[in-house]
Amino acid sequence: MKHPEKKIKILYTIPNFNTAGSGKALLNVISRIDKNIFEPAICCRHEKGELFKTAEELKVPIYISYFTALMKPRIKGLRNIYRLSRLFKKINPDIIHSYNYSDDYSEGLASRISGIKWVYTKKNMGWGSNAWKIRSKLADVIIPQNKEMVERFFPRFKNLDMIPIGIDINEFADLKRDDKIINEYNLQDSFPVLLTIANVIPIKGIDFLIRGFSLVLEDYRNAKLLVVGEDKTEYADNLKKKVYEQGLSGKIIFTGKQNKIKPFFSVTDAFILSSTKTGEGGPISILEAMASGVIAFGSDVPGISDQFRELPNQLFESENPGAIANKIINFIKTDDETKRIMIKNQLEFVKKITQ
């Protein structure tokens, strides 16, 4: 293939690298993009977050700056847009690709004023304001992450290119069992060890998962559930209180936010994502679990169902503790050979969608 004389410059914008899913997805894109054709750069608001160090290791330009602007009051908003357009023109990419999760459209407007093509990835199932429609009309290309987004939000849009989220499967191959995690959380005699990775907020449905897991404990007292994710929320505090009052603190363990996730996959028997009916954009943790050789289950909602489209038996009804409990109990009763087949099918699926 003949390489172009001039590389295509792409500026990827993302609020921060605190949110592991979005940050990992962007870093995967940049690490795998053909550097003979494209010249990537990053713009984010600050240098915080463990993944920012990983971004620096990619050896691409990183601009620390706000890439959105306040739109009100209108006169001031127009001045803000003009200043933002000047920033974009100074960086001078050919394309700006937004990984911003919000409905902000100032970035797209400033890109248009600068004469720079603007693309955005739709990462969640939010669509509650006219701002999303404006954002979409400003975009040269929209990248939805699941089929439900296309059908629900963009039925009349032609400038779409659906790109499901992907991972580097080599990063999760042949994980060695991490004894530090086993000792820290007293997992020595536990089975099954169940894992969920999610910020502890209502949309993640952790309350339904806990209620389902409590039903499992009635018959399987050696089971444990690890909840890995940001838990400095009122919702998390209420869940912890209920867990404590029910005497389940040693069985349901909130680890808080963790910078390194792979050690948790290495000690896990099954992974569960119990998001509510609102749905997800494309949670990367499911694919990471599958690539790690961990059997994964998820609620049958937009975004998650896409990632189980060839594994429908591993879905359960959302917001239904009984359905979660049944899925866990059936997993416990599944013979080893069937589990090996499930793991093999998962890995083949992840390889297929990440090629």
Distance CA 350, CA 344 (A): 10
* CA gap 150, 211 in Å, rounded: 33
Question: Is 123:99 a contact under the CB 8 Å cutoff?
Answer: yes
Q: Are residues 61 and 145 in the same domain?
A: yes
Residue-wise DSSP of 278-304? T--S--HHHHHHHHTT-EEEEESSTTH
Verify that 256 and 324 share a domain, yes or no.
yes
Q: What angle do CA 350, 353, 355 make, to 5 degrees?
A: 100
Among the three residues 119, 153, 187, which one is the final residue of a domain in this structure? 153
In a domain, 162, yes or no: no
- The residue ranking higher by pLDDT, 317 or 165, is 317
Determine the average pLDDT of the residues in 272-278. Answer: 95
pLDDT higher at 187 or 282 = 187
Are residues 197 and 315 located together in one domain of the fold? yes
In 3-state terms, what secondary structure has residue 276?
Answer: coil
Mean pLDDT of 156-182: 88
Considering the domain architecture, whether residues 234 and 92 belong to the same structural domain is answered as no
Domain containing 326: what range?
Answer: 170-354
CA gap 88, 77 in Å, rounded: 17
Shared domain for 181 and 228, answered yes or no, is yes
> 155 pLDDT exceeds 60?
yes
The per-residue pLDDT for range 280-328, each reduced to its tens digit, is 888 889 999 999 999 999 999 998 998 999 999 999 999 999 999 999 9
**Domain-located, residue 304:** yes
- What is the Cα 20 distance to its own chain's centre? 7
* 215-224 confidence digits (pLDDT tens): 999 999 999 9
- Position 123 confidence tier, pLDDT thresholds 50, 70, 90: confident
Is residue 192 located within the same domain as residue 341?
A: yes
Mean pLDDT over 97-106 rounds to: 94
pLDDT of residue 50: 77
Q: Residue 159 above 70 pLDDT?
A: yes
Mean pLDDT of 184-210: 96
Same domain, 43 and 118: yes
Q: What local confidence, expressed as pLDDT, does residue 4 receive?
A: 63
pLDDT given for residue 225 in this prediction: 98
CATH code, 144: 3.40.50.2000
Average pLDDT along the chain: 93
Q: Is 65 part of a structural domain of the chain?
A: yes
Asked whether residue 329 carries a pLDDT value surpassing 70, the answer given is: yes
- Same domain (yes/no): 193, 142: no
Residue whose entry in the numeric block shows the structure tokens 């089971």: 223
Mean pLDDT of 255-280: 94
Same domain, 88 and 175: no
pLDDT recorded at residue 165: 76
Quick one: 178 and 315 in the same domain? yes
Answer with the one of 122, 153, 184 that is the final residue of a domain: 153
Tally the domains of the chain: 2
Q: Among residues 99, 121, 153, which one ends one of the domains?
A: 153
Residues 291 and 233 in one domain: yes
Q: How confident is the model at residue 2 (pLDDT cuts 50, 70, 90)?
A: low
> For residue 99, is it within any domain?
yes
DSSP string, 25-89: HHHHHHHHS-TTTEEEEEEES-S-SHHHHHHHHTT--EEES-------SHHHHHHHHHHHHHHHH
Distances (CA, A) of 60 to 55, 65, 74: 8, 16, 35
**What is the tens place of the pLDDT at every residue in 27-56?**
988 988 999 999 999 999 999 877 899 999
Same domain? For 33 and 138 the reply is yes
**Cα angle: 294, vertex 296, 299; to 5 degrees:** 165
Alpha-carbon distance 92 to 10, whole Å? 9
